[in-house]
Every structure is written in C-alpha cells, then in structure tokens.
Structure 1
Amino acid sequence: MSQKIIPVIMAGGKGTRLWPLSRASAPKQFIKVVNDRTLFQETLERVADPEIYAAPVVITNQDFRFQVAEQAREVGIDLSGILLEPVARNTAAAIAAAAFFLTARFGEDAILQLLASDHEIDAGTAYRQAIETARETARSGKIVTFGITPTEPVTGYGYIEQGEPLKSGAYTVKRFVEKPAADKAQDMLEKGGFYWNSGIFMCKASLLLSELEHFAPDVHAAVKASVDKADTDLDFVRLEEASFAQSPDISIDYAVMEKTRNAAVVASSFSWSDLGSWDAVWKLGDKDEGGNVVLGNATVLNTENSLVLSRSAHLAVQGLKDVAVIASEDAVYVGRLADAQEVGKLVKLLASSKASSALTETHPTSYRPWGGYTSLLHGDRFQVKRLFVLPGKKLSLQKHFHRSEHWVCVKGTAEVTIGDSVRFVRENESVYIPQGELHRLYNPGKIMLEMIEVQTGSYLGEDDIVRVSDEFGRGT
C-alpha cells in the first residue's frame, strides 16, 4: 500500500472578494456559493478517500474554529487536528506550524499536501493522476507544486515555467512568474511550458522544515517555539501567541519556493479556480441559453452573459449584458463582470465610511458552537433574530443587563431554563425572559431547533452578556 498523504487545509483567510456574500467574519471558504456545500466542505470531501489520504489537519484562527469543527461534522469528516493561529502571519508560518505538529505525530517522512480551503477543483481522473505523480515526486525529495494547464491568458494568477523532466513525470521548476500583464500572459500561453500557480503543494514534512530553517530561519524558530508551547483547548490546538507573532509575515512562495533548488511542478489538466472574483463564479456556473448563471431568487429577461444571484429579495434583471448582480440579506452589488477583480476597491471604500463599514465586516448570519443566528430586523430599542440550535447543543447559562427577550418556537422542541425553573417550549409556543434573569436555551431533540427571538431594551449589543456557565469554555 502506498504511503498515505496528510492534507493540510489552510482556512484562516478573511477575504472579501466575493462581497457582499463574503465578509471578514464570513469568508468565502465557509459560505455556500454555487451549491449546498461550502468551499471548505468541498475541500474536505476532495481529500476524504481513505486509500489515498489520512485524516486532514486544518489551520485556522480563533474566530472560525467552531465553523471548521461544525462544517467538518456536517459532512462526516474526521480531522487529525485543528490548529489555531493567534495572529495572522501568512502561509509560511501557517504551513510551518502544521509541519511541526504533524512531524511530532506521524514522523519526519510524513507526506503533506498543502492546500487552500476556498478553491473549486474537479477531483476526477486527472486530479488523481496528478496526486499520484506528486506523491512519487515528493518521496524522491522534492517540494512539488501543482501547475494548472492554462486555458486563457489570465492576469490574476501567478505562473510557473517548467524545466527539465523528472523520472516521476514531473518537471523541475525553471522559474516563477508574478501576475503578468495581458500581453505577457498571452505570450506565455502561446509559447507553452507555463502553468498557473495553483498554490497547492506536496512534500515531506522534514524537507519543508529544513528548507524553512535554511531560507527563512526566523519563521522556523518562531513557529517551532509556538508549537512547543501550544495548549489544547477542547478539540483545538492553540499556538502560543508571543512566539508566533515573532514570525515574519511572508508567504511560502517567497519564503521557500522561489529560493529552493528542490522545487518541482506537476503539469495538471484538472479544472481549477480560486473563485477569487464574481467572473470566476460565472465561468464555472451552469448557464442558460443566454449565457446567464442564475442562482437563488432571481428572474432574468433579455439579459446575456451575466451572473445573477440572490440570497434574499427576488431579483428581476432586464436588458443587461455582462454584469454581476449579487444580493445578500443586507446589501446588493451591481457591476460589470469585466470589473470583478476590482471589487476589493469598492469594499475598501465601504470600509472607510462609518455608515457602511459594518457591511464589510459582519454578516447577518453569525455562527456559534451551538448553531447560530440571523439578524432579521433592527429598530429603535428592538431587534428580531432567527436562532438555530443544533441537536444536543445548548447556549451558555447567561443574563443581560439591558434587554429582555421573547422566544417563539417555530421548529423542534426547546428546553428553556429561566431562573430556577425549567420548561419545554414546543412549536407555536412562546416564552418571556425578563431583563437580568439567568436563562439558557437547549435543544434536546434530534432535529434543528429554530426560534424567533425578539429583543427589547435600551442596549442590544452582543457584548451585553454575562456567561455564568458555558460548555464551550467561553468566558464572560
């Protein structure tokens, strides 16, 4: 049996390139873009074949830890570990942490596959063939990158030029090319031997760490100290902050790949996209006879080659061409698909204004270890939320100083603690929690519990909470 590959999934990014669906608190890896699976869940399923892969390790941050655990549970994937970065330090530090962690657990010869959590990949025959070639190349002492056969002169990707062929079927790397201008990208496409840099790597843990120690000793030393001092918290490994923060903020490409003599590239023909813009989503989507990709609550008429997606109100789009119209629960984006790479500039403009900055940070739906909530309506001294509680989960025993709450059960059965009393609240029943009273919500059933919560009071911020007891280890 061939040596199993250990996937290392990087899931800590907070990008907003798919705004308004993605936000700093709800990045694209954890949202459902084109189907009923998030990109993170699709990544997990892509590395779930037990004949090829061991259980993956995920590296993320404090804010996303429960989303990682819950989304893995939803698709039935066991994890080797969840590492929590205390501060953002780019991919070199994240990958180093995973390499140290897995070396201690599986030994220096462990073969790691390093991959992003937010890419769209066709994991068919071509993907499996590339994985096998990469594994053989990695075992021979190379750090392998996957080069995607380009189909058009894209300027938003970096490129790799292949060098001499290797026995495994891979090639040495002649050079890496930064994101090129359009004419240079066209020249590389016509010349051949150039590939899109997918950001997917495979190598032995020991080789990666030795190359980091040689080319980026500050990263190696800081992360090693952080892993050595790490703490275990529930299902998470918390990297020690002071040491980790000493690591330079640098990518694995700059730290190692562009310097090492052991880089190899596997020419890969499988379908791949980093889904970094709305035009990328349009290119991958199922199109109607007019070339439109229509998702969610939307109708189009006399519209061509457009992406129309709604998660809230019904969108009706008429007489447009080559546009993206995207509606989240609280914002709408309209722009030309040709300008989709420029959404980041619009997000920065929104973030610079107090009136709109929250639209770039928070999403109406927030996830918690017990489930989550969606904000439905805000008013003067009141707000309405939809709570969803996973089977067997409970909120903390808590109280609020500035608000009271009314709960209406719309699905499932709730066990509600108020002060010293405990009662069941079933569908179409309600309960009132007075201001300042200790209370707790628990789902004792087998299906998702849904409650409508109406808050009233002088202050309705999320920080008006005192947790007396919490099974997830969260403080006040």
Structure 2
Amino acid sequence: MTSNHVNIVPVILSGGSGTRLWPVSRPERPKQLLPLTADETMLQLTAVRTRGFDVASVGRPILVSNAAHADIIDEQLKQSGIHDYSVILEPIGRNTAPAIALAALEAQGSDALLVMPSDHVIDNLPAFHDAIARALPLVAQGWLVTFGIEPDGPETGYGYIQMGATCGELVHEVVRFVEKPDVANAERMLAEGNYAWNAGIFLFRADAYLTSLERHQPDMLAAVRKSMTESKRDGAHIFPDAKTFYACPSDSVDYAIMERETQVACVPVSMGWSDVGSWDSLHAVSTKDAGENAVRGDALLLGARNCLVHSDGPRVTLVDVDDLIVVVSQGEIMILKRGESQKVRKVTEAIKAIAVATATN
C-alpha cells in the first residue's frame, strides 16, 4: 500500500473548555468557537486546514465535541462551506484517547486519521501539508505518527518528544515522551537538539489505533465500542450511549497509547504553530502595531507598548503603559501583566469559590 492510496479523514477534537482565556472563553462558547486570531473561529480555521492537500484524498471530517455545542458547530461549519461531516457528541468528556476511539470506530479501518485539536494556530499550511506527506508512507505500514514542533526556546508549558534514528524522509523514531519540564531541563533538551514540542497532532490508520487500544486499553475500547454500537443518530449528529460512555476510563492518547507503543514516529515541523493556551500566547501570534500592541475591538493606545487589548464593546484607552493585558468581555474586565497570564486560572477558581459561597449562604 502506498501513500497515494491512503484516504485521510480529518478528526477534529473540540471538547475543551478553554478556561485559560477567560473571560472571553466560557464553557458555553469555549475558545475554539471564537474568532480569536482571524475573522474565522479557530474551529473553522482547523476544519479547512487540509484544503489544497493533493498527495492523498481527504474524506469528510469527523468532529468529536461536547453535546452542548452541536448547533454552534453546525452553523460554523456551514459558514465555512463544509456540509458533509459527522459530529460525535460526547455525553461527558473522557479525554483524548476515548475521543479518538469514537472517531476511529466511525471511520473505515484503512482510513488515515489526521487528529487535530480544534483550537490551535498553524500559519504555514504548506509546511504542515509537507509534514503529512512525509508521514504517510509509515502510516500506511501501521505506524503511529505524531507531529513535533521544532522548538524556538526553552518552553516549559509543553511536553517534549525525544527523537531517535530516522525511519523516513525527515521522520524519526520516538525514543520517549517527556513531561512538561522545568527551565533547566528545557534548556538542556534545546541544547541537545533532538527534541520537539508535543503538539498533540497525530496521523495513523484507524485500525492501527484500535489494535493498539485493544492491546493496551481493552476496557476503554470495549466501553467506547459499546457506546457507539448503541448510539443514536440524527443527521450529521451521532450520540454515543451515555450510560456506557460514562463508564469509559478517562485518559489522554499520549498516556494510553503513544507512550506504550513501539512503532511510533515523529515528524518535526516548523509551521507557525501555537496552541493559543494563554493571553500571552495570543499576543505572540496576533498582528501587532508599531508599538508591538495587539488589539481586537475598540481601543485608543497613546504611548502604550507591548500590550494586548481585547474588547467586545467599550473602548479601552491606554496611556503610557507597557506590558499589560486588558480584556473586556461579557460584562467582565480583567487586567494583568504580560507574562502572568497563566494566573487566569486563579481568577476562575476564585470566581467559582465566590459562587459556591454565595449559593451556600
């Protein structure tokens, strides 16, 4: 079997809640359903990411999503000209390994599943398409392939992939997956040069993934298979049986499968990637003015530098300040220093605590 005979099925994982981009991103409309980096939403940008790929055929996409977002997803896909698709609506989140298994059971066994999170940025699509083409020969042989981002700094917010011997054209065997490191270990790995960031983007045949799941996570596969056998369907929507899926173990594809398999390869690629995991990372990938300010919405910046302003209504005016993040959304205002946006988690936790205390009084 050659790569020319592979049918690629995009699998878009859209179950995240995006709490790190509060107050814009909320559970009812998380970041993948928002136009954060362009006029299109991040889901829409992901859904059209394989257009123009001519090395193999590309089949209709399969999305795996929170059931609460079904109508929004339908609307956004149709706005992007995508009318032939399936959406598997999870009754509860069980992490990425079961989500991918749902899609693998919906696809044909010989299909190559291109698994993509719905909330990432990829600016250089030709580089991404080239990386997919380099992966296809190994995928056809049953390998599980991950795409590693060539690091440009000692980032501590990502997991890393250690790469070993070459097993294809600019493709390497995976030696091991590394947890998010501290600064010293990140600098060491960067100096060694045989590490890539783990982007959570994968390519493998559906049957190869299900075989791995049977070998390493039989209980998970059994629960997912039963939930799909007993699923209900309504047009493009597929509803796995809730009771069965609730009983499914929860685990990521990295822990459940990729770290346990032997035929795992990594394609390193530099493609303008970001997971837009914080307001700081959104600033990094946004178009900026001469003062390195990124602005979305109504803003007046006088002498401000290196700021991010995101407003859904009121004008934000900044005068002679540097390195601020200012977000106005849905009646909430948040201001914090650039470089400190990981502390948004503290904000959401504090708000939850206030809500609980109010409810109990």
Fold-level match, TM-score > 0.5? Answer: yes
Paired with 1:220 and 1:123, the residues of 2 have a C-alpha distance of: 35
Corresponding pairs, count = 354
Shift of 1:290: 1.4
**Greater gyration radius:** 1
Identity rate, percent: 36
Alignment of 1:148 onto 2:149: yes
Query: Is the contact made by 1:148 and 1:197 (CA closer than 8 Å) also made in structure 2?
Result: yes
Instruction: Name the SS for the 2:355 alignment partner.
Output: coil
Q: Which residue of 1 aligns with 2:97?
A: 92
Paired with 2:206 and 2:357, the residues of 1 have a C-alpha distance of: 44
Paired with 1:15 and 1:164, the residues of 2 have a C-alpha distance of: 36
Query: Is the contact made by 1:163 and 1:172 (CA closer than 8 Å) also made in structure 2?
Result: yes
Query: Is the contact made by 2:6 and 2:110 (CA closer than 8 Å) also made in structure 1?
Result: no
Paired with 1:167 and 1:303, the residues of 2 have a C-alpha distance of: 49
Instruction: Name the SS for the 1:71 alignment partner.
Output: helix
Paired with 1:49 and 1:80, the residues of 2 have a C-alpha distance of: 18
Alignment of 1:120 onto 2:125: no
Shift of 1:50: 6.5
Paired with 1:322 and 1:5, the residues of 2 have a C-alpha distance of: 43
Instruction: Report which of the two has the higher share of strand.
Output: 1
Shift of 1:152: 1.2
**Equivalent of 1:30, from 24, 33, 48?**
33
Query: Is the contact made by 2:144 and 2:203 (CA closer than 8 Å) also made in structure 1?
Result: yes
Deviations 1:106-141 (A, max 9, x none): 3x2111111100001124321111010122221122
Shift of 1:168: 4.0
Alignment of 1:41 onto 2:44: yes
Deviations 1:361-405 (A, max 9, x none): xxxxxxxxxxxxxxxxxxxxxxxxxxxxxxxxxxxxxxxxxxxxx
Amino acid at match of 2:254: D
Query: Is the contact made by 1:116 and 1:199 (CA closer than 8 Å) also made in structure 2?
Result: yes
Query: Is the contact made by 1:305 and 1:323 (CA closer than 8 Å) also made in structure 2?
Result: yes
Q: Which residue of 2 aligns with 1:56?
A: 61
**Equivalent of 1:83, from 88, 94, 111?**
88
Shift of 1:32: 1.1
Paired with 1:136 and 1:120, the residues of 2 have a C-alpha distance of: 26
Q: Which residue of 1 aligns with 2:278?
A: 277
Instruction: Name the SS for the 1:299 alignment partner.
Output: strand
Alignment of 1:190-339 (within 5 A): 190-339=191-340
Shift of 1:356: 10
Amino acid at match of 2:340: D
Deviations 1:47-92 (A, max 9, x none): 2337342111111121001111110000101333111111111111
Query: Is the contact made by 1:229 and 1:239 (CA closer than 8 Å) also made in structure 2?
Result: yes
Q: 1:182 to 1:50 in 2, by over 3 A?
A: closer
Q: 1:287 to 1:222 in 2, by over 3 A?
A: same
Amino acid at match of 2:295: V
Paired with 1:328 and 1:297, the residues of 2 have a C-alpha distance of: 12
Alignment of 1:326-475 (within 5 A): 326-354=327-355
**Equivalent of 2:12, from 6, 9, 13?**
9
Deviations 1:329-364 (A, max 9, x none): 311111112111221121111111129999xxxxxx
Shift of 1:3: 2.2
Paired with 1:47 and 1:231, the residues of 2 have a C-alpha distance of: 29
TM-score, normalisation: structure 1: 0.72
Instruction: Name the SS for the 2:339 alignment partner.
Output: helix
Instruction: Name the SS for the 2:17 alignment partner.
Output: coil
Instruction: Name the SS for the 2:130 alignment partner.
Output: helix
Query: Is the contact made by 1:350 and 1:356 (CA closer than 8 Å) also made in structure 2?
Result: no
Paired with 2:274 and 2:336, the residues of 1 have a C-alpha distance of: 21
Amino acid at match of 2:27: A
Paired with 1:355 and 1:206, the residues of 2 have a C-alpha distance of: 46
Instruction: Name the SS for the 1:288 alignment partner.
Output: coil
Query: Is the contact made by 1:302 and 1:319 (CA closer than 8 Å) also made in structure 2?
Result: yes
Query: Is the contact made by 1:296 and 1:309 (CA closer than 8 Å) also made in structure 2?
Result: yes
Paired with 2:77 and 2:40, the residues of 1 have a C-alpha distance of: 11
Q: 1:49 to 1:287 in 2, by over 3 A?
A: same
Paired with 1:245 and 1:127, the residues of 2 have a C-alpha distance of: 35
Instruction: Name the SS for the 2:32 alignment partner.
Output: helix
Deviations 1:401-448 (A, max 9, x none): xxxxxxxxxxxxxxxxxxxxxxxxxxxxxxxxxxxxxxxxxxxxxxxx
Query: Is the contact made by 2:9 and 2:60 (CA closer than 8 Å) also made in structure 1?
Result: yes
Shift of 1:142: 0.7
Listed as ranges, the gaps of 5+ residues in structure 2 are none
Q: 1:124 to 1:356 in 2, by over 3 A?
A: farther
Amino acid at match of 1:219: M
Instruction: Name the SS for the 1:46 alignment partner.
Output: coil
Q: Which residue of 2 aligns with 1:373?
A: none
Instruction: Name the SS for the 2:188 alignment partner.
Output: helix
Instruction: Name the SS for the 1:312 alignment partner.
Output: coil
